[in-house]
Amino acid sequence: MRKKIVAGNWKMNMTLEQSLALIKELKEELQDYQYNNTRVILAPSFVSLSAAVNETSKVNIEIAAQNMSQEERGAFTGEVSAEMLAAVGVDIVIIGHSERRTYFQEIDAGLKAKTKAALANNFDVIFCFGEQLEDRENKKHFEVVEQQLKNALFELEAEDFGNIILAYEPVWAIGTGKTASADEAQEMHAFIRSILAKQYNETLANSVSILYGGSVKPNNAAEIFSKSDVDGGLIGGASLKAKDFSEIVKAI
């Protein structure tokens, strides 16, 4: 059975003190929650990772990094390696978020290298991808998504997908207040599963968790998560409020 996953990407928000306060609030909100087949993941900033790992050590909340370098070590000022993340207890990383692609010009070749580096260090990878508004309006959204996956992931071995979580981000629905309808999310997630089946096999396609990452809120989470090919969400703004995020978790 595919894992249900709700991941909160805190982006460049929250100081160390604020991060710990939010985690404590979230622990209280979820203290009676039965996780069963659900993973709850939080991605604070680099400076809060170690403390966040310690704060969640006795609960079913996992900590992820928002990014990492493909390099092992060396003269790469400002970068953080998988080895450094592992040393503070982190073994999950978000790769390819739309903001990394847009603001930092990350491209498929680099994202492929980062993914391979993460997998080589036994990390789980939340791999993000998705179309811009122009792509959807020009009816190229399926083509764009397939190309992003093909360029970055389709050199991987089938067994590598045991550590891959896919996160579909319709970029036009991030931070804009717009949201793809539940049916639109399902349509794309089903398409993604179909191209995984075509490239690999049906068993693999049906085993990979695919998250929706476009303005999920407490008031739309249940409808989106009810779709058969939507396995959870990558949550941005709503993950910065313990009550909202916990309601989204409970909606799964």
CATH code, 223:
3.20.20.70
Interhelix angle 108-120/141-153, rounded to 10 degrees, is: 50
Q: 176-226 pLDDT, tens per residue?
A: 666 678 999 999 999 999 999 999 999 999 999 999 998 899 999 999 999
What confidence score (pLDDT) does residue 180 get?
Answer: 78
> Which residue range(s) make up the domain with 92?
4-251
- Catalytic (active site) residue 97: yes
Determine the longest span between alpha carbons in the chain, in angstroms: 48
pTM of the model: 0.96
What confidence score (pLDDT) does residue 179 get?
Answer: 66
Q: Given the DSSP bridges, would you call strands 92-95 and 124-129 parallel, antiparallel or unpaired?
A: parallel
Catalytic residue among 99, 169, 184, 189: 169
Q: 87-142 pLDDT, tens per residue?
A: 999 999 999 999 999 999 999 999 999 999 999 999 999 999 999 888 888 999 99
Catalytic residue among 29, 55, 62, 97: 97
Which of 142, 152, 137, 53 has the alpha carbon at shortest distance from 100? 152
CA dist., res. 16 & res. 219, Å (int): 29
- Catalytic (active site) residue 169: yes
The number of distinct structural domains making up the chain is 1
Q: What is the DSSP letter of 169?
A: -
Tell me if 162 sits within 8 A of 168, measured CB to CB. Answer: no
